[in-house]
Amino acid sequence: MCGIIGYIGKKRAAPILFDSLKKLEYRGYDSVGMATINGEAEIEIKKGSGRIEAVNEKEDFLTLKGNIGIGHTRWATHGAVEDRNAHPFTSCNGHYALVHNGILENYLELKEDLKKKGHVFTSDTDTEVLVHLIEEEMNNSKEKDLVKVLSKLTQIAKGAYTFLLLDAKNNIIYAFRKDSPIIIGIGEDELFASSDITSFLAYTNKAIILENNQLAILRDNCSIYDIQTGKEVEQEITTIDWTAEQASKSGFPHFMLKEIFEEVEISKHALEQDSLKFNGMIDVLSKAKKVFFLGSGTSYRACLLASIYFAQIAKKHFMPILGSEFKTYQNLIDKDTVIFAISQSGETADVLEGINIAKTKGARVVSLVNVIGSTIMRESDQYLTLNAGPEIAVASTKAFTSQVLILTLLAYGLSDRLKEGREHLYEVVRKLEVIMNQSDTIAILAKDVLNKNDLYLIGRGASYPIAMEGELKIKEIAYIHADALAGGELKHHTLALIEPGVPCIALVPNDDTKDDMINNIMQIKARGGKIIGISSEHLELFDYYISIPKVHLEPLLMIPVLQLISYYLSVIRGNDPDFPRNLAKSVTVL
C-alpha cells in the first residue's frame, strides 16, 4: 500500500528519495512522485502513474534540486491510476506539498466546502483535500503553528491520514501520524521520515516510532509534539537490528527465493526467544478462559496450524478467526478472552480492526509480529517477535515458517514439554537445508508436471493448513487456480473435478494421517489424477515424488517445498514473484 519518504540533510534529496522509493516498491503501488524545495524556496514536483523506472524515464527525478524533499508510492484508492492522481499535491499558494498514507473519509464534504472558499483541485483524491485543508486552517490561524492547527484539523477530518508536509517557506518537513505508521530515521546530519524502516536502513538504523497524533518537525533537528496536549514529547530512539544487506537481494534473482533460502538461518533465530517474554506468553495463554487467534492471509494459515497443534500437543481449544471476519464473533469476546494476533507486518487493517473491537470488550491482546514498532505490536499487552529480518517479497515465506515454529514451541510450552518441543523443532530446522538442496528438482517438476490451469492439494491434520498455504501461494504469485482440501472432503465434492492428468499434490507425513491419505490418493488415482507425493517415504502410489527427511514434525518440512513450487511456477509463467498483480505487502485498508 502507499509508501512515504522524506529527507532533510546536507546531501541532495532527489537521489536519496529515489533510492528509498525503490525500497518502498515491494509494498505494492501504481504511481510514484517526488517533491523537493529548490534554492528559491519553491516546490518542484515530478510524478506519474506507473513503475518508478518508467516514470523516471519521462520525468527524470534526479534533476530535482535541493536537499529537502518528500516522495510517495501510491496504491490507488480514491481516483483512478492516472498521472494527475499521483502524490505529492500542492496547496493553492504553492507553499506546501503533501504525501499521504491512509484514507480521509469525509473528503467529499470537505472538498465542497474548500471549493466554496476558492480552493482549486486538480485530482480526484482524498489526499489533495488534506493539503488544501491545512492551507486554509493555517491561513485562518493567528499563530501559524501547525501543532495548533492540527489539533483543530483532527476534529474536522475523519479517517486515517498519516502525512508528510513539505513547507517551502520555512524549509521544514512535518511528519504526522494518524493511524498508519510513520518512523523518523536519525542519521548523521540528516533526518528521514518514512512509512517503512527499510526505506532508510541504508543510511541509519536509529529510529523514532511516532505514536498516533504525534507531529514531528524536521529541520536541522527533530522535535516531536503531541497535538492533543500541544506539548513537546520526549524522544525514544530505537536501534533497529535489521541491516541494509538483509533488505537486498544478495545475488538472488528475486527477494522471494532469497527469503525462502533464509529460512535455514532465521528459523534458528525464531526459536531463540527471550525466555522472560516467552514464559510470560505461556502464562497468559494458560490462564485465559478463551483464546482466539487472529490473522489474515498467510498469517491466518499459521493461526489454523497453531490451533491444530495447540489441540494435539497442549489439548487446548484456541479458535482461529480471520481478521476480516472478527466482527462475526464479537459476542464471544469478554474480559476473560485473549486475542492472539499473528501478523508479519504488524499493520494489517483487518487484524487491527479486530484488536480494537476486542479491546473495547476488555479482552487482553497479545501478538506475534515481525516488524518491531509496528502498530499491532504497540497495541498489544505482550508480544513476541519472529526475528526473521525484513520480508520484502509480497508473498510471505520466511515469516510463515517462523510463525509456525514459534507457535508450535508455545504449544509445547503450554503442555510443560518445552524441552521435547525444542528437540523436535530443532530437528526440523536442521533438515531445512535438505529441502533447499532439492530446489532444482522442484523447479523441473514445477515446469514439467505442475504448470497446468488447475492444481489440487490435499492434506489432513497439520498438513491441511499447510496445503491451504500452498494453495494461497500458487494463486498469489503463479496465478494458477489451486484448491486445497482436507483429504476426507474430496469425496464430498471436489472429486467431481478430477479428470485424467489433473495434478494433485498430496502431503503424506509419517504420522497418523498417513493411512487415510493413502485412501484419498487411491480415490484420485481411480479417476486418472496424477499424484505428486511429498513424503519421507516413496510410496508406489506416487506418480512423482518429492522427498523430505523423516522427522517428528514432518508437515513443517513441507512448507518450503510448497513455497519453492509456487516460486518456480511463477517464474516459469513469466510473472514477477516479488510483485504479484493487484496485491500489496502491507494491507492497511479494510
401 counts as binding ligand M6R under rule CB under 6 A: no
Task: Work out how close the CB of 544 gets to ligand M6R at its nearest, in angstroms, rounded to a whole number.
Answer: 25
**Assigned C-alpha cell, 528:** 486418472
Grid-cell match 472429486, residue found: 495
Across 53-89, b (16+ Cβ under 10 Å) vs e yields eebbeebebeebebbbbbbbbbbbebbeeeebbbbbb
Instruction: Tell me how far, at minimum, the Cβ of 73 lies from ligand M6R, in Å.
Output: 17
Stretch that binds ligand M6R, among 16-24, 337-345, 430-438, 460-468 (CB under 6 A): 337-345
Q: Which is nearer to ligand M6R, 168 or 484 (CB)?
A: 484
Residues with a known catalytic role: 2, 585
399, 297 Cβ separation under 8 angstroms: no
| DSSP element (H, E) containing 535 | strand 530-535
Q: Determine the size of the site formed for ligand M6R (CB under 6 A).
A: 16
Give the binding range for ligand M6R (CB under 6 A) out of 216-224, 291-299, 415-423, 443-451: 291-299
Asked whether 85 and 125 are in contact (CB, 8 A), the reply is yes
- Contact residue for ligand M6R among 56, 162, 343, 408 (CB under 6 A): 343
Give residue 281's identity as a one-letter amino acid code.
M
The yes or no reply on residue 345 touching ligand M6R (CB under 6 A) is: yes
Map grid coordinates 474430496 to a residue: 490
Q: Give φ, ψ of 462 to 5 degrees.
A: -65, -25
Min CB(456)–ligand M6R separation in Å: 20
Shortest reach from residue 260's CB to ligand M6R, in Å: 12
**Residue labelled with grid coordinates 514434525:** 553
Beta carbon nearer to ligand M6R, 48 or 580: 580
Does 587 participate in binding ligand M6R (rule CB under 6 A)?
yes
Q: Which stretch binds ligand M6R (CB under 6 A): 32-40, 150-158, 390-398, 487-495?
A: 390-398
Q: Which is nearer to ligand M6R, 4 or 472 (CB)?
A: 472
CA distance 453 to 437: 28
Cis omega before residue 560 (within 30°)? no
Binding mask 183-212 for ligand M6R (x = CB under 6 A): ------------------------------
Cell of 512: 497418523
Task: Report the alpha-carbon distance of residue 20 to residue 4 in Å, rounded.
Answer: 9
Residue 299 found at the interface with ligand M6R (CB under 6 A):
yes
Q: Residue 406 CB, nearest distance to ligand M6R (Å)? A: 13
Q: For residue 392, which of 237, 586, 559, 562 has the smallest C-alpha distance?
A: 586
Closer to ligand M6R by Cβ: residue 215 or 455: 455
Radius of gyration of the chain measured on its C-alpha atoms: 25
Residue type, 368: L
Give, in degrees to the nearest 5, the angle at Cα 549 between 252 and 304: 80
380 near ligand M6R (CB under 6 A): no
How far apart CA 218 and CA 235 sit, in angstroms, is 13
- If the CB atoms of residues 69 and 389 are measured against ligand M6R, the closer one turns out to be 389
Q: Which of 36, 298, 385, 535 binds ligand M6R (CB under 6 A)?
A: 298
Q: Which stretch binds ligand M6R (CB under 6 A): 25-33, 239-247, 393-401, 440-448?
A: 393-401
Check binding of 297 to ligand M6R (CB under 6 A).
Answer: yes
For position 385 contacting ligand M6R by CB under 6 A, the verdict is: no
Q: Which residue, 123 or 380, has its beta carbon nearer to ligand M6R? A: 380
In the bound complex, what is the minimum distance in angstroms from residue 171's beta carbon to ligand M6R?
36
Q: Could you tell me which residues come within 8 angstroms of residue 227 by beta carbon, excluding any fewer than 6 positions away?
A: 147, 150, 151, 154, 176, 213, 214, 215
Q: Which of residues 114-173 bind ligand M6R (CB under 6 A)?
A: none
396 touches ligand M6R (CB under 6 A): yes
**Could you tell me which stretch among 11-19, 127-135, 340-348, 429-437 binds ligand M6R (CB under 6 A)?**
340-348
Q: Does 56 bind ligand M6R (CB under 6 A)?
A: no
Determine the Cα–Cα distance for residues 247 and 259; give it in Å rounded to an integer: 10
Binding segment toward ligand M6R, per CB under 6 A, in 67-75, 209-217, 279-287, 296-304: 296-304
Contact 415, 297 (CB under 8 A): no
Q: Are 159 and 104 in contact (CB under 8 A)?
A: yes
C-alpha grid cell, residue 563? 513455497
Grid cell for residue 67 = 536537499
**Choices 164-172, 274-282, 341-349, 536-544 (CB under 6 A): range interacting with ligand M6R:** 341-349
- Whole-number minimum distance, CB 274 to ligand M6R, in Å? 21
Cα gap 341→346, rounded to integer Å = 9
What minimum distance in Å lies between the beta carbon of 420 and ligand M6R? Answer: 29
Site mask for ligand M6R (CB under 6 A), range 461-480, x = bound: -----------x---x----
Count CB-CB contacts under 10 A for residue 189.
9
The full DSSP string for 537-567 is S--TT-SEEEE----TTHHHHHHHHHHHHHH
Q: How far is the CB of 76 from ligand M6R (least distance, A)?
A: 18
- Residue numbers of the site for ligand M6R (CB under 6 A)? 296-299, 343-345, 348, 351, 394-396, 472, 476, 583, 587
